[in-house]
Amino acid sequence: MGKPDTATREYINDSYVFADVFNYFIYGGRKVVNPLNLEKLDASTLLTVFGKNGDEETIQRYRDALKIAALMVDDEAAYIVLGIEAQTRVDYGMPIRTFLYDALQYDSQARELKAAHKNAGDKHSEDEFVSGLYKEDRILPVITVVVHFGAKPWDGATRLSDLYNCSHKELMAFAPDYKMNLIDPAGMTDEDFDKFSTSLGKVLKFMKLSNSRKEMKKLMETDAAYKKIDRNAARVLRECANISLDIDSNQEVVDVCKAWKEEREDAERNGVILGTIDTWREVGISETEIRKKIMAKYNLTEEEATELMLKRSA
């Protein structure tokens, strides 16, 4: 697993961020899912498949974040399984992946019910004995949301039917479909970002604007919240938006505005140095002399000067 995947997975597993995802997506920002009423579930699932020769093969699938939530709906307690998949890149088969994850979770619940009846020696009808499930048994609904931490718009499928290679309407009316729930910053508005109660809204807004220097400059100069971004959120920005951030393990918050400004200044300074290298090469100054000159003029180490000269030669 790469650094971006690790950073985003750790970030969304925070109970407050996890709850924030569903409070935004389902309830428009209302705080219905309480982070204190979330219980972590095993994110790994075993799948048994059969090969061409009938041999069994066990495949393990891992979810990014999976929790059971206790909600109060119409003064009654409701329990639901919630899952999040964090994507740093567009996965063009994502509806299949999330469909499989949800189906495996339902299967896992059914297996638990069957095992409980068997262990308890419950009385059963003939049909209940064969299926393992009893007529009164019920499973918890599963809702999965995909959170895209990429800058470019999600241009992949969002429904299982988007991937079907068939245009026959009468046939497709009977083919099962599955809708993927997606949070994609590229399609969100400022009003959407403001509905989050954790740093997630700031992270997603940063990702949306990260490819626009003009918009990023405006954001860093006007939104003071980025001066105090929590450490895990800052790790996501560092790994997914390629911004240089020095994050101390003892730091609770990170000044992203300062880091972004310094990175831009370094880029502009390097641009000036590269232009100077070009000018001195044109007038015939030797490579050794150019290295000495830019080291003295711009206070560079020999390693830094060599790196810039090689970059200009590439």
Indicate the DSSP class of residue 230.
E
Residue 54: the pLDDT is: 65
Phi then psi dihedrals of residue 146, to 5 deg: -95, 125
pLDDT at 49: 60
The residue ranges of DSSP E strands in the chain, in sequence order, are 38-40, 44-50, 56-62, 65-73, 76-87, 142-148, 181-183, 229-230, 253-254
Q: What is the pLDDT of residue 307?
A: 81
pLDDT at 174: 93
* pLDDT score for 50: 63
pLDDT of res. 51: 63
Which tokens is 112 given?
């638990």
Q: Tens of pLDDT along 272-306?
A: 778 888 888 888 888 888 888 888 877 778 887 88
State pTM to two decimals. 0.82
Cα 109 from Cα 226, distance rounded (Å) = 42
> Residue 230, CB half-sphere, CA atoms under 13 Å: how many?
14
pLDDT (tens digit, 9 = 90+) per residue, 122-165?
Answer: 888 888 888 889 999 999 999 999 999 999 999 999 999 999 99
Q: What per-residue confidence (pLDDT) applies to 66?
A: 95
Sign for the CA dihedral angle at 284, 290, 292, 296 comes to: positive
Q: Which parts of the chain have pLDDT scores under 50?
A: none
pLDDT of residue 217: 87
CA distance 216 to 206: 8
